[in-house]
Amino acid sequence: MLSSETRDSVKLKYRVPIKKELPSLFIGLSLTFIGLVFLYQLWNFNPRVPILYSGDGLLTLNGLRNMRFGNWYWSTQNLGAPFGQDLHDFPAVAENLHLIILWLGLKILRSEVLTFNLFFFGTYFFTTTFGYIGSRIIRLNRSTAVLVGVIYSFLPFHFQHGPGHLYLAAYWALPIWIAFLIRELMGDSISPFTQGSKLDWFCRPSTFLIAAISIVAATTGLYYSFFFIILAASVLCIRRLKQLSSFEWVPTLFSIVVACAVMAIQYFPVWLYQRQNGSNLSIVKRSISEVEYYSLKIVNLILPINGHRISFFNEIRAKANPVYLIGEGADALGLFGSVGLITLLVVLILQTTSERNKLFSALSVFTIIALLISTVGGFTQVIAAFGFTQLRVGSRMSVVIAFPAIVSAAICLEKLLRNRKRGVVLVSLLIIGSLSVLDMNPGNQLPPYKAVAQSWERDRDVVTRVSTGFGNDAMIFQLPIVPFPENPPVVDMTDYEHLKGYLHSPSLRWSYGGVKGRSADWQLSLPTDPKILISKLRQQNFQVIWINRNGYEDRGTLLFNQLKDLGLKLFFRDANLFILDLRESAN
């Protein structure tokens, strides 16, 4: 632990005006912008078309549309007709800060698509910013902090989760709470708790900073909140065992209490809903085998990414892929981060304890704790054995491990460049940073902008025709019947594909989107006989049958002919859809 005199002098040395940080941060954000423009070829991107128009991207857009035309993300009367959609059983718990940012974006931009796209690309700038701040909290110099922030924002994890897992891609808050825990491990707390200051400590600005970090940690992702609490608890145990003075563990305990309280507040509406309506055990089922399947593998941290730009590295990755526990495949740290990870493991083995290497020691201890928690057969598996299987993807700890690994590599690079001319240092950092970003991002990562735009425009035109032909408040029954949420693909129809129509009309009512296990999933028990089905749908006042042809082996031809023989008239037909008039007058 640092002496009080040393700590005071260090604090004085590093307490600089914020305006002195802005030029370096501006450089980091500019480099991030340049990286985004070239990696995503943004000159071909239409911001009014969603960057992702399939899979979980549709689910996120569903929530944004609910917020735009309703009170909050979890309810709308326009899905799950005639009962409506209520997502209390499938909530975005611990995402409230993200949701507030998105809500503000919707209020300003008045478009869920613009908000969706802006938020996704904004996560890169946020990550660079907080990567820089986190680096400065652990006292890296400004140039090194810029390097860390930029490299950390372009992790393979960012691209591979991308807009599909929008909230996972928004891992921007991690660097500040990781830096806080690293400082705690060093015995150099942001707000040290000392004898004689028990009550005054809670009124310090630095204590409010710890509270703010804890609140952000608990509101920017369920996985990240869980990781923060379990890592903070581990740090607390270490500080209790190694404490050199009384109560030095209090800041860590305080952060855990604040985070847990904020988590509980966010979960309260869900608890209240389920208390009133009963629990819904059918909503999402996780197994302990899934926890093992999605655990972290150290080899995946170190090996190159899939689709690497250099064929030699791509071949190495391909040889390692034929294994049983594949996981998500978003774990790679890149060459720069891998060097840092290996360095930290070596430091841990050598057990360096000198004052000069305390940062390295803290980074090493933090990393090994994260590995023990998340790796195959680690503590997440132990937790799962007690029935807690909802947070099944331990490999997502990779984004936490990445920050100390990149910091470690950056410190090593800084030492190599010591005593070099400033120009040489800056050019070296720029070259290494650029190569690292290219190393971590494959050359084939571009979304199919043109195809997505064509699909978006086609669906909008079809929904407009339906709205004109049947009225703005028409009820549309969608086939095939698909449970919501989380269902495997039906033939060639991907999950959540039925949500596309909802994104193009503020008033049409759609049968899909009612949460399974509640009254809104009544359609799952409907008969398959077309004649009886038509009768049931007319009793519920549906006017349209919407058939997604991708959900049938025969492209829906048999069902279409059966419905046509029963007197239903064809309203629209193309390669993907049959739309039929269900109104009595159609007979």
Q: Report the pLDDT value the prediction gives residue 585, as an integer from 0 to 100.
A: 57
Name the pLDDT band for 76 (thresholds 50, 70, 90): very high
What average pLDDT does the chain have? 89
The dihedral region occupied by 387, where left means phi > 0, alpha psi between -120 and 50, and beta the remainder, is left
Name the pLDDT band for 556 (thresholds 50, 70, 90): very high
Q: What tokens appear for 19 in the block?
A: 């305006």
Instruction: Between 183 and 15, name the one with better pLDDT.
Output: 183
Average pLDDT of the residues in 47-73: 93
Fill in the amino acid letter for 115.
Answer: T
pTM: 0.92
- Strand order across the 544-548 sheet: 509-510, 475-479, 544-548, 577-581, 569-573
Q: Report the pLDDT value the prediction gives residue 102, as an integer from 0 to 100.
A: 96
pLDDT in tens, 292-341: 888 899 999 999 988 888 888 888 888 887 777 777 888 999 999 999 99
The H or E element spanning position 548 is strand 544-548
CA distance 246 to 155: 40
Alpha helices in 71-138 (DSSP H): 96-109, 112-137
CA distance 213 to 209: 6
Question: What three-state secondary structure class fits 545?
Answer: strand
Which residues does residue 493 pair with via DSSP β-bridges, in sequence order?
490
Contact present, 392 and 286 (Cβ < 8 Å): yes
Q: Report the pLDDT value the prediction gives residue 191, as an integer from 0 to 100.
A: 86
Q: Is residue 11 pLDDT above 50, yes or no?
A: no
Q: Which residue has the tokens 């549906």?
A: 542
Tell me phi and psi for residue 72, to 5 degrees.
-155, 180
Domain coordinates in residue numbering, the chain: 174-280, 284-416, 449-586
Q: Report the pLDDT value the prediction gives residue 322, as an integer from 0 to 100.
A: 79
Name the pLDDT band for 231 (thresholds 50, 70, 90): very high
Q: Is residue 127 pLDDT above 70, yes or no?
A: yes
Q: Report the pLDDT value the prediction gives residue 383, as an integer from 0 to 100.
A: 83
pLDDT in tens, 371-429: 999 998 888 888 877 777 778 888 899 999 999 999 999 999 988 988 888 888 889 99
The fraction of the chain above a pLDDT of 70, given in percent, is: 94
